[in-house]
Amino acid sequence: MDLGFETCGNATLIFYDAGVPVLVTDPWIAGSQYFGSWSLPYRFTSEQAEVFPWARHARLSHGHPDHLNLESLQTFKDGMLLVPKHHGARIFTDLRQAGYRVAEMTDGQWFSVSDRVRIMCFADWNQDAALLVQVGDNCAVLNLNDGSALGHRGYLKKLLGRFRRRFVLRLINYGDADMMNYYTESGERIMPMTANKKPLGLDYSALLKDWGGTHTAPFSCHHRYARTDSRWAAMCETPLEDHGREFNSERGEFVPGYFSYDVNQDRVMLTPMERLPVEYRDPRDFGDDWSEQLAPEDISILQAYFGKFDHLCRKFEFINCRVGGKDHFIKLAGIKGMASPLRRHAIL
């Protein structure tokens, strides 16, 4: 396409100007993430796989490995990496030391990646970052990733409202991208809230209403479980066909899968995607052995780590780290003198 963009992967957008790939966002295009727990459910098209090495810029939103994937970044060695100006500048510093060309993006300033495509970054309070992409004169894409543009919402919404076509993309799913692997102290699994599957179309309708968008689609939610010890969580995955259930078409247009948008023709086109075969790998392939116990120096590291957090020390008397079937009580300073049944503790 001459001018436009397409969605693919997990949270990846490819922007084109004069048929050239000028920007790729959060490229996770190879490997599995979170110590092998997550894999991509769909194969990239041959055309997408071919353009990645030619992309001039790759923009990284935050440090989660399904957004900042070191294995995938090898493809972009010849391009420029663009990162938000996060507190501490860890991502910027580490990537530069690894030999990449990296530029920090100042909040609220336009950065041109080509003649007709420019971007504006907004680092938020949770070390994520929103991205506004202007494509031509009449189209803008608001890429919220996993966040909500905390601290910048009003200004971003005003900017977005200037365009005729307003795509708003954000993580929406049944909630399995958050903490859900909980147990009682006796070892019984606590069924996650994600097992109660509400109609996600309601969330997409609210997203367009909140931001004044014209289009939305599933985004930053494309993963599936790929280890034998996380296979149980497959019940919480969000099938692509579930995303639009009960969407209110009066709010705008919901695109039910991967798509491309041609700016010159003002046309949205669905991208046919091939589902990858499921392969569940053993945890030991990634160095995890649930029967392995902690060494004495490991316990000292745990004590020092949890002891650094003032909030924990004020609120909890201890944390129990159960590893390899053995309990390790990390003593904290909180709520001394309370009756034993009321004392607060946590098990990890």
Domain ranges, ordered by start, for the chain:
3-283, 291-347
Tell the burial category of 154 from Cβ atoms under 10 Å away from its Cβ (0-12, 13-18, 19+). Answer: exposed
**C-alpha–C-alpha distance, residues 326 and 318, integer Å:** 16
Tokens linked to 129? 């970052």
**C-alpha–C-alpha distance, residues 120 and 254, integer Å:** 24
HSE of 157 in the Cβ direction (CA atoms, 13 Å)? 13
**C-alpha–C-alpha distance, residues 266 and 197, integer Å:** 34
CATH (residue range 3-283): 3.60.15.10
Encode the chain (348 residues) as per-residue pLDDT tens digits: 999 999 999 999 999 999 999 999 999 999 999 999 999 999 999 999 999 999 999 999 999 999 999 999 999 989 999 999 999 999 999 999 999 999 999 999 999 999 999 999 999 888 899 999 999 999 999 999 999 898 899 999 999 999 999 999 999 999 887 788 888 888 888 888 776 788 999 999 999 999 999 999 999 999 999 999 999 999 889 999 999 999 999 999 999 999 999 999 999 999 998 999 989 999 999 999 999 999 999 999 999 999 988 888 888 889 999 999 899 999 887 665 444 444 455 566
pLDDT on residue 131: 97
pLDDT on residue 346: 57
Is 146 within 8 Å of 28 (Cβ atoms)?
no
What SS3 state is found at 143?
Answer: strand
- Find the Cα–Cα–Cα–Cα dihedral 18, 24, 25, 28, rounded to 10°: 150
pLDDT on residue 23: 98
pLDDT on residue 189: 87
**C-alpha–C-alpha distance, residues 72 and 49, integer Å:** 12
pLDDT on residue 178: 78
**C-alpha–C-alpha distance, residues 100 and 71, integer Å:** 13
Which letter, b or e, does each residue of 6-32 get, where b requires 16 or more Cβ atoms within 10 Å of its Cβ?
bbbbbbbbbbbbeeebbbbbbbbbeeb
**C-alpha–C-alpha distance, residues 25 and 67, integer Å:** 8
pLDDT on residue 347: 60
